[in-house]
Structure formats: C-alpha cells, structure tokens
Amino acid sequence: MSDPILNADSRRFESRPRRVTIAFLLLFLCAASRLLLQTAVMPPYAGLDELYHAARLSFVAAEKRNPGSRERSIPSYLQRSLDGDPGSLPDFSTLGARWPQRVRSAPILLNNPVPKIIRPYSAPNYEAQQPSLYYSVAGPLADLIPERTSTSELRLWRLLSAVLAVVTVLAAGVIGHRFFGLFGVLAAALLVSLPTWLTLVSRASNDSICCAMIAA
C-alpha cells in the first residue's frame, strides 16, 4: 500500500518544473507585449539621443563601416529632422513641449522615404565614440527593408532593441529564480513597469545590447 504523504510530495516535485516553465512563459509574454507597445507608441526620436544613434546606424548601413569620432557622419535627411524641417520626420527630443503644436500644425510624414544617397553628411556624431559592435550588427539590417522610410528603419531598430530587452528580462528572471524561486521570476517582471527603463531599452540605441550582455 502506497504512502499518501510520499505520493503527495512526489506530485509536488513533478509539478514544480511545470510551474517554473509557466512562470517564464508568462514573463516572456508580459515583457514582449509591454516592450512592443512601448516601441510602437513612442513618438519618433523620443528616446533621449535616439536620432544620433539612428544617424550612426544609417551611416553604417550606407558606408558599410563605422565613422570616426571627428568625421562628418550625420545623414542629410536626419539633419533636416534636427533642424525642424516640416518635410522631415520630426525629432521629438528637440521639440519637447512644442510637440503638440507641431502635430497640429503639420503632418507627421510616416512614409517619408530615405534617399538612396544620404550624403552629404552634415556634422560629426558624438555617438561615434561608442563601441562598434551594436552598430555593425544593427546598421546593415536596414538593407532588409524593401522601401525604406525614416519610420520603417526606426521601427526595425527599435524592434531589435525590444528583443534584446526581453533577453535582459528573462536573464533577470533566471537570476531571481536561482535565489528566490518563483518570487524571483515575478520580481523580474517589475523591470517592464519602470518607465525610464522602458524608454532606455525600447529606442534605437546600444543600451539594450549592453543590458542584455550584462544580464546574460
């Protein structure tokens, strides 16, 4: 005759991996959906110095190399955004409080095509001092877009950032689970509740890959 206490302990042991799997699946769904939402609703170039990261990525996509720190490398179409040209995708970080007025007074040109030739470059880009790994990987991805626009390239680079941010959340969940069990997995979900962190890792920049590498 089997011992009911031993049987109950055995069932608990067998169900534990399933609970952990479900917890990580829910963590993945929570993080992915929140990060995708963030990348979709943020205005163009809203993430701090996002336009300058996009400028370096665009340079790498066109020139197949990274720029020097004193080399002119900001593409002309992005310089027009910085200058507030109404025919270019507006730069939210420059407009700031004037963003509502800009939206009311002129259209947001979501389908503004990126020119085949993005020269001349207007000025050196201070993001050129950053390590090259992220830009060398992410920049050429723009060539995968059939009809590239300022919006489509930004969405692509933001999507890559979101994927790397999900890696960060999952890695944090693994660390938390090692020390605190399922409560550690729940704590990792708190990352995607922090607005500043969401902005940091949802924009086109090298911050997501740094977070992912450190967490992993």
pLDDT at 107 over 80: no
Question: Which residues, other chains included, contact 34 with Cβ-Cβ below 8 Å and sequence gap of 6+?
Answer: 192, 198
Q: 33, 112 in Cβ contact below 8 A?
A: no
Question: Per-residue pLDDT averaged across 198-202, rounded?
Answer: 93
pLDDT band at 93 (very low <50, low <70, confident <90, very high): confident
Quick one: how far is CA 204 from the chain centroid?
5
pLDDT at 215 over 80: yes
Question: Per-residue pLDDT averaged across 92-111, rounded?
Answer: 80
Whole-model pTM: value is 0.88
**What is the Cα–Cα distance from 177 to 5, expressed in whole angstroms?**
27
Q: Which residues of 58-73 are buried (b: 16+ CB within 10 A; e: fewer)?
A: bbbbbeeebbeeeeeb
Q: Cα-Cα-Cα-Cα dihedral of 4, 9, 11, 14, to 10°?
A: -160
Residue 149: strand pairing partners:
113
- Summarised one tens digit per residue, pLDDT across range 44-60 is 998 679 999 999 999 99
**What is the Cα–Cα distance from 184 to 173, expressed in whole angstroms?**
6
- Summarised one tens digit per residue, pLDDT across range 23-40 is 999 999 999 999 999 999
